[in-house]
Amino acid sequence: MIGSDHAAIASINQPSSNNSNTVSTSFDLKKLNHQRKAIFDQTSLVTGIPWNLIAAVDQYEFTIHQFKKRKKSKEPQGLISIQFPERMWAGMLNPDPDDKELESIRIFKGIGLDGSGDGYADEQDPMDRLATMTSIMLKRGKRLEDIRISLWNHYQNSRSVQRIEQFAAIYAVKGTMDLYERAFPLPVNATYSYPDSYGASRGWGGHRIHEGTDLFADYGTPVRSTCYGIVEVKGWNPYGGWRIGIRDIGNVYHYYAHLSSYKKDLKAGDIVAPGQVIGAVGSSGYGKPGTSGKFVPHLHYGMYRDGGLADWSFDPYHYLKRWERDDLKAKAK
């Protein structure tokens, strides 16, 4: 029964701690993701929702809220990043926005549920938030299409649903949440150079700024994925020529432009890994499909973060320096 799933979540074994709402201050990302996956695996057994889809919702929430300013007292605690719009938890007309009583929350048509088994619906309790979200996901039924519609009804944003489906696909293929390894986009034994050109002026197609870093290399030099991710876009762009866009589980869009060719059989929807060859350096772009040679061969590499309604660019130069250094160290071992 869908209505009883949230109560069964209370039986899930959480990571041992004197306070289930607290995450250790020692930042161990691998351990943290292992704990999160254990919770999602067990929640999946209770609800019938695939673990990777539950994980994808939580990961999406994390990526959207991590850069939004919130009052410290309202920041969610624990291993679960899911949050809800203000006053939705207790009910829009509830005079007590921090209400934890199940009956009064029900009376005021709030959404809060008890997932921890303590008899209260506490928005600060990670298991209560998880139980509430899985209840929302199952509102129309347990088929994937039903869940998809429920997610759209909750977020009212097709981008949100797309991101969740992308993250779920990555988790499903890799079978883990420990997907933070990175790689330099060119082989470090190749000949290349790259100044910090982010924000420089560009004139073709109208005045604009340079939203990335140009890595100058020989024509045909292999271009590699910098991350675990899903191929979101592949094809021609008048500015970027033959390009590929890859979305990682941090909700960052990695843009590889001016390619001369693609890796054979690579297509939109494919899951890629750090260091995997996706194409080759070229000089395509600045015109209709097939235009090439208007500038020296180079890889344009850009990074864009999803703000919920649109992507915004940020300077990838210092990330590239770090990944290059790490690859050089690994090569020297």
Element (H, E) at 5: helix 5-8
Tokens 């890629």 label which residue? 272
pLDDT 10s digits, 270-307: 999 999 999 999 999 999 999 999 999 999 999 999 98
pLDDT above 70 covers a percentage of the chain that reads 86
How many whole angstroms separate alpha carbon 32 and alpha carbon 27? 8
> What's the pLDDT score for residue 3?
41
Q: Give residue-wise pLDDT tens across range 68-85.
A: 654 444 555 678 999 999
Q: How far is CA 300 from the centre of its chain?
A: 22
Q: Taking the CA of residue 128 as centre, how many other CA atoms within 13 Å lie in the half-sphere pointing to its CB?
A: 23
Tell me the three state secondary structure of residue 76: coil
Identify residue 90 by its one-letter amino acid code.
A
The percent of residues above 90 in pLDDT, for the chain, comes to 77
Residues in the chain: 333
For the segment 229-252, the average pLDDT, to the nearest whole number, is 96
